[in-house]
């Protein structure tokens, strides 16, 4: 009986030792070679337009802080540690007003959108996080509407015949090409279908100075602008991951 108990204890001890070596203390780092990515969220951005801001200041039109809020959407592919993204953003319209003794100017963003194609590589590739350095090229359109709020009474049937000094129905930049560089901090994908939070801090610099245009007038001597932008993207990302493109 004593020999039987001694043998049983030895076998149990070996089994426990074997189990402890087979079970790692932490899950292994996921190694999905490929991924399909969809992302969406918001992007606050500071847009620098010194030429048009100088024009507004000279004519006592308040331009306020040049901050825009965009809705962002993107799709992409990941190959091991390299990522390719196609992104689109549409501005959420807002207005700013300032009063003087005689009138109130209203400045509205009428156009604000961008499209970017970028590629990135994860400089930090840990078990739970990735840190990408991304670079790309894109295009942007950006525009304003300017009008005055007054106490003038106008009959609606005659509204198309009523003119008002100081109104600019259309003033915009079109197809401004820019370079984009950003750092991306994201959670690592853990499953074949995974969800992650993504944060990007980036900078865009226009490659060409574009002349302001108008849909209402043929402008001459219009200022030229080279758009610059600092932005923060706060996104939610969905990915489908695996070693082949046909992922089940």
pLDDT digits (tens, 9 = 90+) for 112-141: 999 999 999 999 988 889 999 999 999 999
Determine the Cα–Cα distance for residues 222 and 2; give it in Å rounded to an integer: 102
Secondary structure element (H or E) that encloses residue 43, with its range: strand 34-48
Could you give the C-alpha distances from 80 to 50, 153, 179, 188, in angstroms and in order? 42, 65, 25, 12
Please give the residue that has the higher pLDDT: either 7 or 233.
Answer: 233
Best CA proximity match to 235, nearest among 125, 132, 112: 132
**pTM to 2 decimals?**
0.82
Residue 17 domain-assigned (yes or no): no
Residue 9 domain-assigned (yes or no): no
Share of the chain above pLDDT 90, in %: 47
Residue 29 domain-assigned (yes or no): no
Q: How confident is the model at residue 26 (pLDDT cuts 50, 70, 90)?
A: low
Residue 56 domain-assigned (yes or no): yes
The total number of structural domains in the chain stands at 1
Could you give the C-alpha distances from 86 to 2, 83, 139, in angstroms and in order? 73, 10, 12
Residue 25 domain-assigned (yes or no): no
190: CB partners within 8 A, 6+ apart: 30
Determine the Cα–Cα distance for residues 138 and 118; give it in Å rounded to an integer: 8
Q: Please compute Rg for the chain using Cα positions.
A: 28
CATH of the domain at 101: 2.40.160.20
Residue 204 domain-assigned (yes or no): yes
Domain that holds residue 184: 38-149+161-242
Residue 94 domain-assigned (yes or no): yes
Residue 24 domain-assigned (yes or no): no
């Amino acid at each position: 009986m004593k020999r039987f108990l001694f043998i049983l204890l030895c076998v149990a001890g070996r089994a426990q030792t074997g189990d402890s070596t087979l079970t790692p203390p932490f899950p292994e780092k996921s190694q999905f070679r490929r991924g399909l990515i969809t992302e969406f969220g918001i992007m606050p951005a500071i847009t620098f337009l010194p030429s048009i801001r100088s024009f507004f200041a000279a004519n006592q039109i308040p331009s306020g802080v040049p901050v825009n809020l965009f809705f962002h959407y993107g799709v992409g592919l990941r190959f091991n540690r390299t990522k390719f993204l196609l992104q689109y953003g549409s501005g959420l319209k807002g207005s700013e007003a300032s009063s003087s003794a005689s009138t109130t100017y209203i400045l509205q963003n009428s156009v604000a959108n961008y499209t970017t194609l970028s590629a990135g590589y994860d400089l930090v590739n840990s078990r739970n996080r990735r840190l990408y350095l991304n670079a790309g090229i894109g295009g942007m359109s950006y525009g304003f509407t300017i009008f005055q709020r007054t106490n003038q009474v106008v009959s609606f049937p005659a509204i198309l015949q009523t003119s008002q000094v100081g109104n600019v129905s259309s003033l915009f930049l079109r197809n401004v090409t820019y370079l984009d560089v950003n750092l991306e901090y994201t959670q690592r994908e853990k499953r074949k279908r995974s969800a992650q939070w993504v944060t990007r801090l980036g900078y865009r610099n226009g490659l060409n100075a574009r002349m302001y245009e108008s849909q209402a007038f043929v402008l001459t001597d219009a200022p030229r602008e080279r758009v610059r932008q600092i932005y923060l993207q706060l996104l939610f990302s969905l990915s489908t991951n695996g070693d082949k493109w046909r992922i089940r």
